Every structure is written in C-alpha cells, then in structure tokens.
Structure 1
C-alpha cells in the first residue's frame, strides 16, 4: 500500500463542467498519481489538474509557449526556477527586502505544490480514437506524462524520450491501463 501523501485537486473549465463521468476519472488519476509518486520517490505534494477544451489549452499554449495552436497536455512545475526562497507575510503577500522584526513570515504558501497539469479533453478523446485504445488510457497517459514533466523529465532527444515513455508505460501498466 502506498504511503505517499500526494493529493490531486482538479478544476473543470469546460462548458457544462464536470459530471459523474469526470468523478470516475479522478479516482483513476489519483491512483496513477500514487503509483507514479511511489515510483519517483515523491512522498507528498499537491498536483492541480485542469480539464479544458481545445480553445482553452490553445490560449495557454500561445501565452506560455508562443505556439498558437491547441495541444493535448501542458505542465507548469512549481519545483523549478530560482524562486525557492521567496518569502511571504501572513497574508501571503510577497515580502520585499528584509521583513520587519514583528512581521509573521512564512515560507512560500505554495511550497507543497508540485505544479499544474492542463489537459484538453476533446484532444484526449480524439487521440484515444486515433490510437485505438480507451479514453481512460489516453487520459492516464497524458496525466502521467504531465506529472513526469512536473518532476523535470523531458523528451528533447531520443534517450530522454525513451526513458520518459518507459516510465509512463510502467505506471500505466501497474494501473491496468494497457493498449
């Protein structure tokens, strides 16, 4: 049994929002998060998942990657960058310079955040049909792919791609999501 304390928070930005079908997806994705977290040695943290449509993900892709087209998944890691030592006051406002002695300073309130994953549901549905497997497998693949990106994995060359995709398939296989 998993002992990690990873949690998944999710938002459905699609018109009409979430229903019973999406609730079932969350059980699957929480299971995948536990499996992937155990395999990668991530004991705790919060991952936020946003379900959106092609237009929503296209806008994010344009804004953050300069690519004005829809994609299937985007990841925004909170583990990377030079802002690890940012300090906030008790109202979560950024403290500039040295804080007053009396200020109630805390570490980054988002320190437990691993990052955000955004998935285009219509794109996942189309890809599942194109690849001839279940929607759940495609959604799981995209989620695990996004999670590994949050941890710093990438697929810029063949060796990185082989490593990342092998890790994804290992997690999916353990969860019973085969092609």
Structure 2
C-alpha cells in the first residue's frame, strides 16, 4: 500500500509512524494493496482555511479527510483490481499538541489517533449519529491497540512477520 506523508508544518512529526499506522489500518480493513493515500501535515493557518472552505467552520481543526476514488475500486474482492487513490488525510500538528496535552499523552500518539480517524473517514466511516460514533470510535480504538501491540523492526518501524524484532 502506498502511503505518502508530507510535513509542511513547522512541527517535526514521525512520518514513518504516520505512514505505518495508515498502512496497518488499510491492511486490517482489507483494502486492496494497490490503494494509495496521502497524509499532509499543515500549519494552523492553512488548516483553518481548509476547515472554513470545506466545512464552513472558523478556526483550525485537528484532521480533515478528502476522499477521491470510489471505495469499491479498493476492495480486495474486486475481480479486476487496479490502483485506487483513496484520498488525502490532512493533519494539524499544532492542534494535535494542544489535544495531546489535554488528553495526557504525546503529540505522536495524538497524530497516530488522528491519522487512523482520517483513514476511517476515507473508508466511509462517520460519527454524526450515536450508533455511527460508537462503531467508528470502537474500531479506531481496536485498530490503534493492534498497531501498538504489533512487534516492529527497530530500524524501519515496519511490523515484523514473525513477531521478532531486529535483523535476522
């Protein structure tokens, strides 16, 4: 799965971890390995302009998701799967810093949560209704718990196939 991460914000982020959690979520949800998505980290002003333009709300937000292709082109059971551009997840690290402090965890953990949240939106999940919220946030928690418990190569950060970490 191709996940492109670009950091255009003034705050340093772990691009490998963001790409990794997105690949993990897509894999766990059986999205075609030919699917692609981009993650863009932006500053407060740019996020505020996106938020107002697309959501009609003033001020910056933490994450926005912009879907591209139809979801059925990314399904693994498609008889003729081709590359599918899922869309863009836009994150605002400056907002993530504030939210992380309030939640009592690191900015890195907050960005992983927000990236997971954005990918779920690209895949059609929403939280406008109570039952949708319960489903989406429950899945988000399950996916993040799975991501955190998966053994990783200490150099690449990629999951190890055998559960062992380090070179062989």
| TM-score bin, normalised by smaller chain | 0.7 to 0.9
SS in structure 2 of the partner of residue 59 of structure 1: helix
**Any gaps of 5 or more consecutive residues in structure 1?**
1-5, 85-110
- Which residue of the partner structure matches residue 96 of structure 1? none
- Which residue of the partner structure matches residue 167 of structure 1? 139
Q: CA RMSD in A?
A: 2.2
Q: String of CA shifts for 1:134-176, please: whole Å, max 9, x gaps.
A: 2121000000000000011000111101110111111111122
* Residues 1:68 and 2:58 are matched in the alignment: yes
Structure-2-length-normalised TM-score = 0.75
SS in structure 2 of the partner of residue 118 of structure 1: strand
* Residues 1:119 and 2:120 are matched in the alignment: no
**Which structure shows the bigger proportion of residues in strand conformation?**
1
> Larger C-alpha radius of gyration, 1 or 2?
1
Instruction: State the shift of 1:80 in Å.
Output: 4.6
Count matched residues: 139
Of structures 1 and 2, the one scoring higher in RCO (CA 8 A, sep 6+) is 1
CA distance in 2, matches of 1:161, 1:33: 20
- Which residue of the partner structure matches residue 2 of structure 2? 7
Q: String of CA shifts for 1:3-28, please: whole Å, max 9, x gaps.
A: xxx1111222224xx7xx53xx1221
Question: Structure 2 matches for 1:24-173, cutoff 5 A?
Answer: 25-44=14-33, 45-80=35-70, 112-173=84-145
**Any gaps of 5 or more consecutive residues in structure 2?**
74-82, 150-168
CA distance in 1, matches of 2:139, 2:132: 11
